[in-house]
Amino acid sequence: EKDGHDWFMRKEIFEQPRAVADSLLGRRTPEGHLQLDEMRLSDQELRDVDKVIIIACGTSFYAGMVAKYAIEHWCRVPVEVELASEFRYRDPILDYSTLVVAISQSGETADTLQAIRHARTQRSKVLAICNTNGSTIPRESDAVIYTHAGPEIGVASTKGFLTQLVACYLLALYLAQVKGTRYGDEIGQVVEQLEAMPSHIERVLADQEAIYALAREHVGTRSVLFLGRHAGYPVALEGALKLKELAYIHAEGFAAGELKHGPIALIEEGLPVFCVVPPAGRDQLRDKMVSGIQEVRARGARTICLVEDGDDAITPYADVVIRLPQVPVLLQPLVAAVPLQLFACELATALGHDVDQPRNLAKSVTVE
Ligand code: M6R
């Protein structure tokens, strides 16, 4: 049942190219328009949306952070992303023109469910992004985008995360199509870039042995930091969460620009720091990241840089280079998250932990 893998998690990591492809299937009409099967909200309702609030927990929350960049960029609608467990308690400002997007792989997370119940009492429309057909959250929502990851058994979310990202991009593009904020050919071009992602993910997976060797070098490491910017920032947070969950070691993700506001004090000789480098096309972002990498390295960090093919500006400051295919910055999380999943899975394995059932965790958290 694990297809020859030692863990469900590892099997699920390797299923990601297929899961991403499946989540894209059937989303285009023959005329090239995007269609979302269970988008039960009318075009008029979507045109009336003047604010989006995304609520989720854990890894799903990080998918929501990526969605914010995508929706604001393509649709020019303000987006807030909020932890479901905090949402209700701050008396959020909601009305009928607010679209609340709940992201939940399981569809049963209690914090997220309570948050959407609250949103509906305020007359907001709720759209669920979910991997589990017929689960509670989509049943209590006005609309659904199902991800097609297939059952995710490992407690740590992997293919769930990547397919949530796909659903978020589709939602952003669909909103842009309905609101007319982007032209059809631009939307079509992004959809084509998305359709190329499964083969890019395959490419990243093919480098598994190098990542595994790197992971095994880190048995005994007590702390790991992750830095990213823009859509790479949630990837940094996700990389840190995977390591906490599976390897039980201290790991933290930061927005690279925040370093100098405090976290740089943590840097000491030999501390591993993963750096998710934005694609070279986004030079301002990329250059700022390079200087962040120089700064931590000058203070003794061991820099492990995820860099796109052909970008050699980082190499002088990278102790380890992990290559990523060239993709647009907004889509980069789909490839950049994968080496971090492989790293956490292998390090936890080397430490002798139960990767599929980490201590103290449950697959779906049905209590608030
Ligand atoms: O089923 P959900 O997407 O609502 O779950 C949310 C979180 O509990 C979940 O992502 C959790 O953080 C995972 N264990 C992460 O690997």
Residue to substitute in 356, 365, 366 for testing ligand 1 pocket (most ligand atoms within 8 angstroms of CB): 365
Closest ligand 1 atom number to CA of residue 361: 14
Q: Which of the following is catalytic: 51, 179, 288, 363?
A: 363
C-alpha span between 184 and 52 (Å, rounded)? 22
What's the per-residue H, E or C state across 155-215?
CCCCHHHHHHHHHHHHHHHHHHHHHCCCCHHHHHHHHHHHHCHHHHHHHHHHCHHHHHHHH
For 67-76, the pLDDT digits (tens) are 999 999 999 9
Residue 51 annotated to the active site: no
For 2-14, the pLDDT digits (tens) are 999 999 999 999 9
Residue 282 has pLDDT above 80, yes or no: no
Split at pLDDT 50, 70, 90, the class of 181 is very high
Assess whether the C-beta atom of 98 lies below 6 angstroms from ligand 1.
no
Residue 184 has pLDDT above 90, yes or no: no
Residue 364 has pLDDT above 90, yes or no: no
Better-scored residue on pLDDT, 283 or 56 = 56
For 145-160, the pLDDT digits (tens) are 999 999 999 999 999 9
**How far apart are the CA of 220 and the centre of ligand 1, in A?**
27
Better-scored residue on pLDDT, 31 or 297 = 297
**How far apart are the CA of 320 and the centre of ligand 1, in A?**
30
pLDDT at 335: 98
Split at pLDDT 50, 70, 90, the class of 284 is confident
CA 11 from chain centre, in angstroms, equals 19
Q: What's the complex ipTM?
A: 0.99
pLDDT at 111: 96
**How far apart are the CA of 198 and the centre of ligand 1, in A?**
23
pLDDT, average across residues 246-253: 97
pLDDT at 183: 83
C-alpha span between 305 and 347 (Å, rounded)? 18
Residue 218 has pLDDT above 80, yes or no: yes
pLDDT at 17: 98
pLDDT at 149: 96
pTM, two decimal places: 0.97
Could you identify the residue written with the tokens 């991403």? 20
pLDDT, average across residues 15-36: 93
Identify which of 127, 114, 51, 56 has the alpha carbon closest to the alpha carbon of residue 88.
Answer: 114
Mean pLDDT across the chain, nearest whole number? 95
Residues contacting residue 215 through CB under 8 Å, at least 6 positions apart? 342, 343, 344, 345, 346, 347, 350
Assess whether the C-beta atom of 109 lies below 6 angstroms from ligand 1.
yes
Split at pLDDT 50, 70, 90, the class of 281 is confident
- Residue having the nearest C-alpha atom to atom 14 of ligand 1: 156
**How far apart are the CA of 159 and the centre of ligand 1, in A?**
12
pLDDT, average across residues 78-106: 94
